[in-house]
Amino acid sequence: MVVKRTDFKSILPFLPPLTPQQSASSSSSLAWPNHQVTDALQQLAQGPTQSRVNSGERLFAAISRIRGSLPLSSKDRLAKSTAVGFAKFFSEMVSEEQSRRWFEDVVPKMGDLVLRLPALLEAHYRECDSVVSGVSTGLRLLEPQQPGIVFLSQFICVNRNSDTVYCNFRGKFVNISDYTLLYGVFLEKALGQLGSLHDSYHAKQENKLKCITHYFERICSSRPSNYVSYERKVLSPEQNPSVVPLPSTDFWANSAAPLCEFKIFPTGKIEHHPPGSLEVDFADEYIGGLVLTKGCVQEEIRFMMNPELIVAMLFMPSMSENEAIEMDGAERFSNYRGYNASFQYTGDYIDRRGVDALRRRVSRVIAIDALRRAGTKQYQSEFLLREVNKAFCGFLDHSEYLQHQQTVPGCNGGIVTGNWGCGIFGGDPQIKSMIQWVSASQASRPFVSYYTFGLDKVKNLDQVVEWIVSQKWTVGDLWNKLVEYGVQRDSIKKIGFFSYLLPSLKEESASSKHRRGSDAEGDSRGRGRGRFKK
């Protein structure tokens, strides 16, 4: 019985307010709380000739009526600017043809999906225990330090995102130290995108919304049939045979693992790399970062291109230092150009990646959050260890590691990454590139494909890699050199790590050059926890 499942109970407070309903067979099933909600959704599902919802203003009015029929508190009222945002977006920011198509085709299908949410959830829980033999994959809150995986069909993902537009949520907020993504915040921030079009317009907000509306147009025109998985990975500081142990400084210092191949790409984008590899999301500790507000850098853009990634925000609380989140199977729907303020949606994207044995698209994204306000502390052994373990947690195939009793066979997919944590987080790209090489090699990845995005600080990366390879260094050798550099950095006039290894390299010292590259797919996002408390 779904209502008695532990996994369902854990996620129920963060879902729309569904209620158990006694059926004729004496078993409980899920249902919307009253007939006013179902009647309103049924009317929407019949299209504009019945619902009269043919404009942004009327869509907002319909949403407001549905919300009024739900057991929501007064604090969950929508901002007045949201109504203006709905009207402005559909009347001024999309073409008349697109607006007509949205209200005639998309809104009715979304209404039908939301109407069927209770039945879809029941079907999910009936099937989730048979997806992977012996592994629980049901939708649930995956709390910090709780390794696990959730499998959702793309159809369920659509329904979760449909609720973003229809706003059926409890609006539950928690302190920043508690679970970060609660469904209410997820939806409130999404609605804020529309409100901000009136309050503080910026072109990137308009273009982010175009990505989301395009996603719904595509999904509603053709029902998807694949799956997306979301996995919390954990390195255990305690001895636990079911969890990979957290490596110590001695572990890294004594590692004899060979360094994997390191490929350098001065131009191009991580998401354009051939499929099969693990693509790094320069993540916030709160998965998704500012995607539902004003953020529009590496992580947020990726979540706009692959909106099914946003679903992780529902049940994945913040990452601890010994955790990472892997998301496999999310389809890409949109093209874009630009970055941050210059971001633009540029049209449809057809994702031609194949699917794996579990019917997930061959799209693998690993979210790892870098050290904040790195400053000079990033060179200390304690924080070097934090970063290398964070990347290792993400890059390692945990199930393979445990299955083979702490040895990892060669993984087919490499790591595709770049200047992780090197924007506003203040990371040193020379150090970060080496840390990721160490981590990927220890995780038995066959290669690292590193996109420099033209950043001056790593313009000599190819020479450094070539020299290290010529020395036949191991993981331990490179790690020890990083630690040694950190200890000696003050006494050697703070020259960069590359020049420390190869004195023949000229140190780039012009701060203007660093600033010119800081926006190049680094982690340059103006986010403070006080500004966006999820």
Give the Cα-Cα-Cα angle 311, 313, 319 (nearest 5 degrees). 135
The alpha carbons of the chain give a radius of gyration, in whole angstroms, of: 24
| Alpha-carbon gap, residue 183 to 81, rounded angstroms | 21
CA 114 to chain centroid: 23
Cα–Cα separations (whole angstroms), residue 81 to 196, 197, 205: 7, 8, 15
Cβ-proximal residues to 482 (8 Å cutoff; 6+ apart), any chain = 384, 431, 434, 435, 438, 497
Catalytic residue among 163, 206, 281, 397: 281
Residue of 337, 115, 114 whose CA lies nearest to 210: 337
Q: Confirm if 507 and 459 have CB atoms less than 8 A apart.
A: no
The residues that bridge with 261 in the sheet, in sequence order, are 447
Cβ-proximal residues to 422 (8 Å cutoff; 6+ apart), any chain = 370, 428, 429, 432, 455, 457, 518, 522, 523
| Alpha-carbon gap, residue 165 to 407, rounded angstroms | 46
| Alpha-carbon gap, residue 339 to 78, rounded angstroms | 30
Q: Confirm if 44 and 108 have CB atoms less than 8 A apart.
A: yes
At residue 344, φ and ψ (nearest 5 deg) are -140, 135
Catalytic residue among 206, 285, 300, 323: 300
| Alpha-carbon gap, residue 189 to 206, rounded angstroms | 15
The half-sphere exposure of 329 on its side-chain side, counting CA atoms within 13 A, is: 23
| Alpha-carbon gap, residue 119 to 109, rounded angstroms | 16
Locate all alpha helices (DSSP H) within 237-341, ordered by sequence.
249-253, 298-305, 312-315
Helix, coil or strand: residue 433: helix
Catalytic residue among 163, 188, 231, 299: 299
Give 341-352 as a 3 state SS string.
HHCEEEEECCCC
| Alpha-carbon gap, residue 448 to 390, rounded angstroms | 16
Q: What single-letter amino acid sits at 379?
A: Y
Whether 299 is a known active-site residue: answer yes
Residue of 170, 160, 187 whose CA lies nearest to 17: 170
Q: Confirm if 184 and 172 have CB atoms less than 8 A apart.
A: yes
Q: Could you list the active site residues?
A: 281, 299-300
